[in-house]
């Protein structure tokens, strides 16, 4: 067994290692809040029916039928299921071993070497990833569980072959989803920017933008910061200051009214914010331009 049982451990690509399951189960959850925990095994959680939420240290992930989450080892997480939306899941936990009696072919490194998408997926080293299954992965997981129930030598061969199929399908689905998601994220960003540039004079909250693009506010915040390098509110503030500078420079609008034109209700706060971003008060900025 590896000292650090990560799916992305470099040793997995240099020596012969094989997956070994330590636990697997079907479970109907209802009104359940798991405490935060982590373990040295890699975990797959597959939603068969219903809804649930998987929480990590950095994100709340809503999941529904056909969703699966792959959690790398030692990632703190917990499962939350409410009373009104029970959830049936299939859980699988495994690690990698290089014991000789586990030496069925192909080894993990051999699977990776012959599959470009799996290799590409592993290079990302996601601590966890959520995927939407087209039922292919669930069929493999069910078959794997049936073979695990037998545990004979003949079944061990099938178990390793099914694991090979599982890794390949997850890698393929992850890269396809990433490519599709990248395109979709670009569309979301364009919609968000268009909305901000057309409504910066109004009072705007993150939830308002989330409603426009039909995304969860947490996910919206994450993709915007990843793409733009700053938060939604930081971008909106920068946009408002830019518009205020234009109005101060090219119009005769009274300075006391400029804040209303850029969606900032408090004149005092606008003046403080403007100085923070430009080094000048609005009055000083206009006077400097006039000189």
From the centroid of its chain, how far is CA 205?
Answer: 22
Residue 285, beta-bridge partner list: none
CB 28 within 8 A of CB 86: yes
- Residue appearing with tokens 């109005």: 247
CB 273 within 8 A of CB 244: no
Could you tell me which of 227, 111, 219 has the C-alpha nearest to residue 172?
Answer: 111
Instruction: Report pTM.
Output: 0.64
Q: Going residue by residue through the chain (291 aa), what tens digit of pLDDT does each one get? A: 555 789 999 999 999 899 999 999 999 999 999 999 999 999 999 999 999 999 998 888 999 999 999 999 999 999 999 998 999 999 999 999 887 555 567 899 999 999 999 999 999 999 999 998 876 899 999 999 999 988 776 788 888 899 999 999 999 988 887 777 666 778 889 899 999 999 999 999 999 999 988 888 888 888 898 888 899 999 999 999 999 999 999 999 999 999 999 999 899 999 999 999 999 999 999 998 876
In this structure, what token pair is assigned to residue 17? 């290692």
DSSP letter for each residue of 204-230:
--HHHHHHHHT--HHHHHHHHHHHHSS
């Amino acid at each position: 067994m590896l000292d650090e049982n990560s799916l992305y451990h470099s040793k997995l690509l240099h020596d012969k290692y094989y997956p070994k399951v330590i636990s697997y189960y079907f479970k109907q959850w209802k009104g359940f809040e798991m405490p935060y925990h982590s373990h040295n095994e890699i975990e797959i959680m597959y939603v068969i029916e219903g809804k649930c939420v998987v929480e990590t240290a950095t994100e709340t992930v809503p999941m529904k039928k056909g969703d699966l989450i792959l959690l790398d080892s030692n990632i703190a997480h917990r499962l939350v299921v409410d009373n009104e939306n029970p959830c049936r899941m299939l859980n699988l936990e495994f690690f990698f071993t290089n014991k000789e009696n586990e030496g069925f072919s192909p080894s993990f490194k051999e699977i990776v070497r012959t599959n470009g998408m799996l290799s590409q997926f592993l290079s990302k080293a996601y601590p966890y990833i959520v995927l939407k299954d087209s039922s292919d992965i669930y069929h493999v997981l069910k078959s794997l569980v049936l073979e695990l129930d037998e545990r004979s030598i003949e079944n061990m061969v099938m178990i390793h072959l099914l694991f090979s199929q599982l890794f390949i399908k997850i890698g393929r689905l992850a890269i396809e989803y990433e490519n599709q998601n990248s395109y979709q994220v670009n569309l979301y960003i364009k919609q968000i920017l268009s909305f901000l540039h057309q409504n910066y004079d109004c009072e705007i909250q993150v939830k308002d933008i989330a409603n426009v693009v039909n995304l969860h506010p947490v996910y919206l915040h994450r993709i915007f910061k990843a793409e733009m390098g700053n938060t939604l509110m930081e971008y909106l503030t920068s946009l408002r200051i830019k518009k205020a500078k234009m109005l101060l420079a090219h119009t005769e609008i009274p300075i006391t009214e400029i804040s209303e034109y850029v969606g900032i209700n408090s004149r005092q706060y606008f003046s403080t914010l403007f100085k923070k971003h430009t080094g000048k008060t609005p009055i000083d900025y206009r006077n400097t331009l006039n000189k």
